[in-house]
Amino acid sequence: MNKVALITGGSRGIGLGIAQRLAEAGFRLAINGTRPAADVADTIASLKKNAPDVIYCQGNIAIADDRDTIMAAVKSAYGKLNVLVNNAGVAPLVRKDVLETTEESFDRVLSINLKGPYFLCQSAANWMIEEKSLDSAFEGCIINVSSVSAIVASVNRGEYCISKAGVAMTTQLFAVRLGEYDIPVFEVQPGIISTDMTAAVKEKYDRLLDNGLTVQNRWGFPDDVGKAVAALAGGSFQFCTGQVIMVDGGLTIRRM
């Protein structure tokens, strides 16, 4: 396979689970993160055991210049982009009730979780349209990793929920816009996934899981999300643009 995938936030957590699955599928990878390259060297080396090529693109997706630098690095290394996986995201530094949310926290979360993915979609979309015009056989897609928080309200982290709801609409907008080019756009909504982000609330979710929060009574893992993203990136769902894949163990199923 000669396909190229850019994964934001791909050096840890859900992003790494996605990267590992795409590496196994033979994708050439561009891994984005904010940490210095030296801090992720072992992770990149591990991915290289399966992927034909891996580069690391340091940058904060909330910053326009960094987004440009990331895309330029992909273009320099590979000359094309087949799959954009918008995965990078943050939780509020402090969980506060919606009656107490600060503008500082709101701006931080939405800049990283929504503004960054939106404009990366824009950059990737324009590049993929150009590639399609040069080669009608070109295959591309965009996969936005949001959260069940896009549709499930958590009043102690409202800014996070709003950011993920925005990602859901971003998916719909770009799916509609790119339909004429046969470039599908998908959304993956993970549920309770065991990562660094959820480590601080592990005891809370352990109790909720024990009380039947999900149909499948366990934590989700980054690999669960990785499998779903790899299936979409592989091209088997080409005629399913705009669709949402729930990776939540049945959390969002209505039950009586």
| Active site members | 160
How far is 198 from 1, CA to CA, in rounded Å? 34
The closest of 213, 210, 171, 201 to 189, measured between CA atoms, is 171
Q: Which two tokens stand for residue 156?
A: 């102690």
Q: Which two tokens stand for residue 64?
A: 């326009």
CB 232 within 8 A of CB 186: yes
How far is 172 from 183, CA to CA, in rounded Å? 13
Paired sense of beta strands 4-7 and 185-190, if any: unpaired
How far is 239 from 102, CA to CA, in rounded Å? 42
Strands (E), the chain: 4-7, 28-33, 54-58, 83-86, 141-145, 185-190, 244-247
Which single residue is written with the structure tokens 């960094």? Answer: 66
How far is 103 from 87, CA to CA, in rounded Å? 23
